Amino acid sequence: MSAGESSGSVVRRILLGSQLRRLRESRGITREAAGYSIRASESKISRMELGRVSFKA
């Protein structure tokens, strides 16, 4: 958790990432394909799903 970030926002980010991963996997979409769709790397998708990076609105 970085400075200025509440534990609640971290928990929400982790839960959202987990939900995104379940949805991606249930549709048979690879991290690579998901990344291509949003112009992000496969590793960025992984970090998002693990709640390690923030999402932009």
| pLDDT at site 54 | 82
Query: What are the residue ranges spanned by the domains of the chain?
Result: 7-49
Instruction: Tell me what the mean pLDDT of segment 1-9 comes to.
Output: 73
pTM equals 0.80
Q: What's the whole-number mean pLDDT along residues 7-35?
A: 96
Angle made by CA atoms 38, 35, 24, in degrees to the nearest 5:
100
Retrieve residue 3's tokens. 């400075």
Query: What whole-number distance in Å separates Cα of residue 41 and Cα of residue 25?
Result: 17
Q: Which of 19, 17, 45 is nearest to 30 (CA)?
A: 45
Query: In the predicted model, what is the mean pLDDT of the chain?
Result: 91
CA distance 21 to 1: 21
How distant is the alpha carbon of residue 43 from its chain centre? 10
